[in-house]
Amino acid sequence: MNTARPVKEKPAASFAFDFLYKYGTLITVFVLILVFGTVADNFLNTSNIINILRSISIVTIIAVGLTVSLAVGGFDLSVGSTASLANALVISMFVWHGQNIGIGIGLTLLFCLAVGLINAFLVINFKIDDMLMTLATMFIFQGVALTYTRGATISQNMILPSGDFATGKIPAVFEKIGQVPWIIVIMVLVVIVVHLFLTYTKHGRYMYMIGGNREAAALSGIPVSKYRLAAYLVSALFAAIGGIILGARVMTAEVNSGGPYLMDAVAATFIGYSVFGAGKPNALGTFVGAVLIGILQNGLIMLSVPYYAMDIVKGSVLALALALTYYKKRH
């Protein structure tokens, strides 16, 4: 029996919650800026602000990909591993194989799209829960990246297993990608493009519908599997871009370099759910979430909080964002 839901008078507490839910993240950002700005002298310097933006750009790009996978009701936990793989691939293309920048980046993106394809195939065809399946592939691709690099760091002039020095050079143009202003420009472009895609195109609308009610979406004639596949491809693509930029920034491929970005990306995305009261994964919100984490991290370091305690703070922020999101869902 489906009875009419009576229109309830909202109590004041509910209004307060709605307001905090919608604008809480933004208010937190401003409060943090005020607090850190008064406590730490250098916090509001232009150079520090640019520093913060640069520090969040890789997280943001990876998180935007994750946002798309969440939009269709999926969850791509393998983004960190994909970024590691991309980092290893792109650096090795230059250092080991002496490829030019176009082929180096192109091939890397292509390989990482294959990762997305594998994720989508497993999740869609075997009807496995997205989070569990990508937890498994997260380990697989992390392992693939490690095996590919033989568990070692790739860098210019490294000693190869044969005993020779690697002769390949990383192109100077590639280095530029990882530097200001380009790294920030790329981040802003990614956020804007995905925001427009999700909000203003038919395809974005379909993705949200699939995320909202997969059965109803299918029965409305939306090709659900195609869009879920597309979402995993997009997710892997942005993870790969994140990994490539990481490579450009540090000019090496460290072991499991992309791994730590997973948690930050998840946190940024879930904090983003509530921004402007969207109540669903969205690119602008994800950006705000990344800014929040970036400011926290930067400010706390300025206040001499040790780096090893940072995970406690980030984890707590994620827990809070999740609590808000799930509390909202039930009310």
Instruction: Please identify which residue in 42, 45, 220, 316 interacts with other proteins, judged by CB under 8 A.
Output: 220
Q: Which of 201, 316 has the CB closer to other proteins?
A: 201
Q: How far is the CB of 189 from other proteins (least distance, A)?
A: 18
Q: Which of 96, 208 has the CB closer to other proteins?
A: 208
Instruction: Please identify which residue in 11, 161, 163, 221 interacts with other proteins, judged by CB under 8 A.
Output: 221
Q: Which value, to the nearest 10 degrees, does the dihedral of the CA atoms of residues 10, 280, 285, 84 take?
A: 150
**82-121 footprint of other proteins as x/- string (CB under 8 A):** ----------------------------------------
Q: Which of 169, 226 has the CB closer to other proteins?
A: 226
Would you call 264 helix, strand, or coil by DSSP? helix
Q: Which two tokens stand for residue 92?
A: 């090795």
Q: What is the DSSP string of 121-168?
A: HHHHHS---HHHHHHHHHHHHHHHHHHHTTTS-B-TTPBPTTSSBP--
Binding to other proteins (CB under 8 A) within 243-272 occurs at: none
- Kind and range of the H or E element at 23? helix 12-39
Q: Which of 4, 13 has the CB closer to other proteins?
A: 4
Q: Which value, to the nearest 10 degrees, does the dihedral of the CA atoms of residues 20, 311, 53, 207 take?
A: -60
Looking at residue 66, the DSSP 8-state letter turns out to be H
Instruction: Please identify which residue in 41, 163, 215, 304 interacts with other proteins, judged by CB under 8 A.
Output: 215
Q: Is 127 left (phi over 0), alpha (psi -120 to 50) or beta?
A: left
Q: Which two tokens stand for residue 179?
A: 């530097």
Instruction: Please identify which residue in 98, 213, 316, 326 interacts with other proteins, judged by CB under 8 A.
Output: 213
Instruction: Please identify which residue in 35, 117, 188, 218 interacts with other proteins, judged by CB under 8 A.
Output: 218
Q: Does 72 bind other proteins (CB under 8 A)?
A: no
Contacts with other proteins, residue ranges (CB under 8 A): 1-5, 7, 200-203, 205-206, 208-209, 212-213, 215-223, 279-280
